[in-house]
């Protein structure tokens, strides 16, 4: 790098780090840095940048982390092309971040767009594009800007869907393991949105307003308004936070026995392309069996999502019946051989035939 360029870069980095002198921003950064210590061996992260105040605050904190800890960090923004000005906004974000020595790569969602269930499909596509890009660059930890308000919203959304203990509590975790070894990290999950907005205004004095946030045709917007109305009626946010924590503790206990069941009563073979399960696997409490089998099917089938609860429960009932022989679920074949259950990818069976 030329001396002039190196000098300019140092000047930018000095300016970036100067905001840490602000007591509020400095304190948040200290906790941000601490939350990532256990993941620092990889020496690389990817940051999902939406352009909103939350993700820009995350981008700033991640940039400080990369400077102070000499980390390789990639920044990805997904242009969904769902709005007329989305590409213009993407370029504005890229130019803005470039002034802070943040090289943001724009990933474009190509092809037909959905007419319904837009937010859910867009979210899955966003993760798909970011996951693929990060894997291409050998990065297996993705930072997202989920915060405390998101935690509350997701709790009520999942409650409205009839989610169980795991669904109601899992979003409270710092990390969330996903397919192909990629891990989503939520280092800002304990902070209120207003704190992140404060950082973004101080550092960038700019962010993108997503008009869908005010569109009541989306469930998340209605849930957000519902929470606001609850607060007006004296709703105690701290008690909800405590409830979610208690649920998370209970979920952690169950996860312990799920891991134990998988370790003691199953064995993966040939790089997890198949799995052998013994009869003791199904002698555990239903929730333990349900989660254990779900994880195994996801690994063997190499699927992004876990199996649907209703389908999985039906399969477990069949396996426990005396007449069970063979069944297909989540791209896997489950076959009973003597006293064991063999699980392998459906495609593998087709190749044999």
**Domain spans of the chain?**
11-235, 247-352
* Strand-pair category, 332-337 with 340-345: antiparallel
247-352 under CATH 1.25.40, yes or no: no
pLDDT digits (tens, 9 = 90+) for 250-270: 999 999 999 999 999 999 987
User: Across residues 179-204, what is the average pLDDT?
Assistant: 92
Find the mean pLDDT for residues 18-26. Answer: 97
Q: d(Cα 302, Cα 305) in Å, to the nearest integer?
A: 9
Task: Tell me what pLDDT residue 308 has.
Answer: 73
Give the residue-averaged pLDDT of 282-311.
86
The whole-number pLDDT of residue 349 equals 43
d(CA 63, CA 126): 22
- Quote the pLDDT of residue 352: 37
C-alpha closest to that of 142 among 208, 82, 58, 86: 58
Q: Whole-angstrom Cα distance, residue 79 to residue 26?
A: 31
The pLDDT, as a whole number, for residue 351 is: 41
Ramachandran class of 227: left when φ > 0, alpha when ψ lies in -120 to 50, beta otherwise: alpha
**Which pLDDT band, with edges at 50, 70 and 90, does 5 fall under?**
confident
> How high is the pLDDT of residue 7?
82
Q: What per-residue confidence (pLDDT) applies to 303?
A: 76
Q: Check residue 281 and report its DSSP letter.
A: G
Shortest CA distance to 87 belongs to which of 103, 55, 109? 109
pTM of this structure: 0.83
Q: How confident is the model at residue 353 (pLDDT cuts 50, 70, 90)?
A: very low
Token digits of residue 281: 């696997």
Residue 43 DSSP one-character state: -
Q: For 240, what's the count of Cα atoms within 13 Å in the CB-facing half-sphere?
A: 18
The answer to whether residue 350 scores a pLDDT higher than 50 is no
- For 302-348, what is each residue's pLDDT tens digit? 776 666 778 889 999 998 887 888 999 888 999 998 889 999 988 64
Question: Which residues are registered as beta bridge partners of 269?
Answer: 274
pLDDT tens figures, 208-243: 988 777 788 888 899 999 988 988 888 888 888 899
Taking the alpha carbons at both ends of the chain, their separation in whole angstroms is 58
> At 271, is the secondary structure helix, strand, or coil?
coil
- What is the mean predicted confidence (pLDDT) over 130-138? 94
Q: Which CATH number fits domain 11-235: 3.40.50.970, 3.90.1200.10, 3.40.50.620, 3.40.50.300?
A: 3.40.50.620
From the list 254, 127, 253, 245, the residue with the least C-alpha distance to 190 is 245
Neighbours of 56 (CB within 10 A): 28
Quote the mean pLDDT of the chain.
89
């Amino acid at each position: 790098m030329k001396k002039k360029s190196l000098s300019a870069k140092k000047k930018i980095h000095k300016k970036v780090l100067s905001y840490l002198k602000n007591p509020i921003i400095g304190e948040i950064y200290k906790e941000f840095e601490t939350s990532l210590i256990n993941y620092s061996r990889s020496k690389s992260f990817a940051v999902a940048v939406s352009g909103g105040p939350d993700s820009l605050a995350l981008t700033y904190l991640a940039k400080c982390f990369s400077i102070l800890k000499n980390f390789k960090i990639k920044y990805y923004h997904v242009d969904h092309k769902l709005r007329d000005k989305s590409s213009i906004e993407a370029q504005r974000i890229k130019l803005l971040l470039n002034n802070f020595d943040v090289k943001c790569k724009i990933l474009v969602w190509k092809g037909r767009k959905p007419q319904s269930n837009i937010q859910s499909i867009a979210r899955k596509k966003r993760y798909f594009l970011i996951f693929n890009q990060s894997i291409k660059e050998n990065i297996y930890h993705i930072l997202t800007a989920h915060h405390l308000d998101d935690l509350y919203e997701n709790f009520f959304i999942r409650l409205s869907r009839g989610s169980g203990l795991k669904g109601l509590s899992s979003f409270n975790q710092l990390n969330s393991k996903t397919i192909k070894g990629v891990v989503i990290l939520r280092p800002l999950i304990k902070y209120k949105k207003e704190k992140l907005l404060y950082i973004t205004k101080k550092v960038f004095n700019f962010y993108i307003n997503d008009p869908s946030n005010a569109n009541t045709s989306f469930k998340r917007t209605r849930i957000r308004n519902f929470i606001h109305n609850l607060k007006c009626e004296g709703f105690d946010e701290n008690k909800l936070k405590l409830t979610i924590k208690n649920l998370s503790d209970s979920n952690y206990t169950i996860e312990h026995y799920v891991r134990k069941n998988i370790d003691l009563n199953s064995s993966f073979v040939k790089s997890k392309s198949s799995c052998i399960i013994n009869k003791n696997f199904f002698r555990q409490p239903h929730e333990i069996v349900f989660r254990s089998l779900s994880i195994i099917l996801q690994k063997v089938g190499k699927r992004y999502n876990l199996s649907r609860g209703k389908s999985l429960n039906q399969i477990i009932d069949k396996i426990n019946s005396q007449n069970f022989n063979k069944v297909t679920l989540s791209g896997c074949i489950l076959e009973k051989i003597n006293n064991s259950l063999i699980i392998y990818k459906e495609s593998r069976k087709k190749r044999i035939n």
